[in-house]
Every structure is written in C-alpha cells, then in structure tokens.
Amino acid sequence: MKVTLLTLLALGALFFTACTTPVAIDPMTGEDQTAEYRVGTFYAPLDAPIGEIFRVAIREMDDMGYYRTGELHRDDSISIFARTVGDKKIKVQAAQTKEGGSEIRIRVGRLGDLAESQKIYANIRNAL
C-alpha cells in the first residue's frame, strides 16, 4: 500500500514538473519566437523594459474588464494581481532575464488557462 501511494505521488510530481508545451506567439508574422506553457503558467519574451510592460499591462487588463487587486514591485520584476468576473485569480509578472531582455509570465486560475493567458499576452504585446 505504501509503495503504491509513493509511486502515485512520484508520478504526479513528475507530471506537474515536466509538462511543458511550446506555444506559437504569432504565426501570422512567421517569427520563430515561441512561448512556453509550463504547469499552468504562460511564459513569453517581450522586447520592452519591465516598467513599460507594467504600464501597458495594467491599462490592457483594465480594458479587458479585469478587476486589479494589487501590485508587487521588486528590483527585477513587477507583478500584477487581478480577478475575472468568475472570480478566477490572475497573476501577470514582468521579469528581467539574465540576458538583459524581459519575460512575461501569466497565470489564470489555480490550474492555469492557456487560452485566456494567450489573450492577455496578445493584448499586451499588441499595445507595446
């Protein structure tokens, strides 16, 4: 019984830590740039400083009808917290990468929502 439970827990942990899905950012332009969807969080590069991403993101999230509940400013990242009409939590984080670029991370709900994350990302990227 203990072996079966430990095996199931190990397989579950492996599934949640190893699940990565490549996502095409903009197939219309033919760019090779892709995003990743790992364990419910959408990761994508952006060519803008995190301060500018923050300003655009709050404006776009307000326009999309989300209710912003808070912000967290750090030296190398800025996080925006919001809620949807159905009371799903949304977290949008702009972080500085080691290479000097920026990366945006979007998580919608507890388990993640790829379609909603892509919609948020597309609105932010188009506004930049």
Quick: pLDDT tens for 104-113.
999 999 888 8
Residues 6 or more apart in contact with residue 70 via CB below 8 angstroms: 80, 81
| pTM, full prediction | 0.77
Considering the domain delimited by 20-127, tell me its CATH architecture.
2-Layer Sandwich (3.30)
Closest to 90 (Cα-Cα) out of 113, 59, 63? 113
pLDDT band at 14 (very low <50, low <70, confident <90, very high): low
Domain ranges, ordered by start, for the chain: 20-127
